Amino acid sequence: MSFPARRPRRLRRTPALRRLVAETRLHPADLILPVFVREGLTEPSPISSMPGVVQHTEATLLEAADEARELGLGGIMLFGIPAVRDASGTASLDPEGILNRSIRAVKERVGEELPVMSDLCLDEFTDHGHCGVLTADGAVDNDATLEIYAQMGVAQAEAGADVVAPSGMMDGQVAVIRQALDDAGHQDVPILAYSAKYASAFYGPFREAVDSQLSGDRRTYQMDAPNRTEALREAELDITEGADMIMVKPATAYLDILADVAEISDVPVAAYQVSGEYAMIEAAAAQGWIDRRAVILESITAIRRAGATNVLTYHAAEIAGWLRENS
Ligand code: PBG
């Protein structure tokens, strides 16, 4: 009988020893809370496929922002749902449109203590639900869309966004937005680029969250699930074009991609735990099939361990509350 010389179990014996050697820790500042604000709403409206998440009114959005600031979250990411949509997403450029107006209101409310980030994409604003404008034959027109993205970036920066986050996966979007921001005197507004964003069925509940008008899919612009090296190409392009931070999305089913991208990136890498990931956890927890809190914390820990500096999660505020209890 020979006994082991090395015993990894020694460092697992007590919670304090395990804490001592933990290679990954969670902090509220790691977390970014995505929020939805809908024009014309008088009461918050629950999203049935995302229990616990609502479409905010402009008033309750400010309460959510207060809470996020008070909890010390890393940031808040705003998605706007306009009352009126059209083919080119005009409301996205209107300084008084729902998203730009909300950026301004939240910024006034939270000051410098909470970074306010804005989704820079057309899908919430178009009546066809695509992330860009369409050609006569219905294809998504990359370069015509870039012209609108450039103006959106400037509109969001003028409204006070601390970070703009282009999520439309148009080729060249980071470069044109950077140029437009610089030309308008917003050299100091960073770009968080959705670099490796996959055409994913995990976005299902989000489509309800923003009352998406999409029929069809986004497979001609978002990435194809089988591809891995392509994510490195996308990340490198965005970094070269001037992205200050990049993102991988979804998170849990794409941890290999996240690890690969984190390995080559010299800018911070965020990951988005998307609506379908949220919904699956909530659904299983509601059945009593999993330990809700443990699964939420384990999933975010795994995303951080794979290499994410920051995690966008609909559980951000709740997690920050737990972390506070434990400290
Ligand atoms: C597009 C956008 C989407 C999400 C974030 N930004 C939807 C899509 O690409 O279809 C999905 C987020 C989620 O599922 O939680 N503006």
CB-CB neighbours of 204 under 10 Å: 16
- Minimum CA distance residue for ligand 1 atom 12: 274
Q: What is the pLDDT of residue 157?
A: 98
> How many Cβ atoms sit within 10 Å of the Cβ of residue 18?
11
Q: What is the pLDDT of residues 130-165, one digit of tens each?
A: 999 999 999 999 999 999 999 999 999 999 999 999
HEC secondary structure over 52-74: CCEEECHHHHHHHHHHHHHHCCC
- Domain of residue 212, CATH code: 3.20.20.70
Domain carrying residue 69: 25-326
Q: Is 5 within a domain? A: no
pLDDT band at 187 (very low <50, low <70, confident <90, very high): very high
Integer Cα distance of 174 and 182 in angstroms: 12
The token pair at 215 is 């029929």
| Ligand 1 atom 16: residue of nearest CA | 121
The set of protein residues with a Cβ atom below 6 angstroms from ligand 1 is: 119, 121, 123, 131, 167, 203, 206, 218, 274-275
Q: Whose CA is nearest to atom 10 of ligand 1?
A: 203
Residue 13 lies in a domain: no
For the chain, the average pLDDT equals 97
Cα separation, 256 vs 176, in Å, equals 29
The pLDDT of 214-234, averaged and rounded, is 96
Q: To test ligand 1's pocket by mutation, which of 47, 198, 206 has the most ligand atoms within 8 angstroms of CB? A: 206
Q: Assess if residue 134 is contained within a domain.
A: yes
The answer to whether position 9 is within a domain reads no
Number of domains in the chain: 1
Mean pLDDT of 170-199: 98
- Atom 14 of ligand 1 has which residue's CA nearest to it? 203
User: Is position 275 within any domain?
Assistant: yes
Q: Which of 69, 130, 197, 315 is catalytic?
A: 197
Mean pLDDT on 263-278: 98
The verdict on residue 146 lying in a domain is: yes
Residue 326's pLDDT is what? 81
**Is the pLDDT score of 327 beyond 80?**
no
Residue 14 lies in a domain: no
Question: How high is the pLDDT of residue 232?
Answer: 98
Continuous segment of H or E residues that includes residue 35: strand 31-38
Q: Are 79 and 36 in contact (CB under 8 A)?
A: yes
Question: Counting atoms of ligand 1 from 1, which one is nearest the CA of 197?
Answer: 9
Q: Does a structural domain hold residue 133? A: yes
Q: Assess whether pLDDT exceeds 90 at residue 227.
A: yes
- Can you read off the two tokens belonging to residue 35? 């929020």
Query: Do 261 and 195 meet the contact criterion of CB atoms below 8 Å apart?
Result: yes
- Give the pLDDT confidence of 59-83 residue by residue, as tens digits: 999 999 999 999 999 999 999 999 9
Q: Which atom of ligand 1 is nearest to the CA of 199?
A: 9
What is the per-residue pLDDT for 215? 85
At residue 165, φ and ψ (nearest 5 deg) are -125, 90
> What is the structure's pLDDT at 1?
87
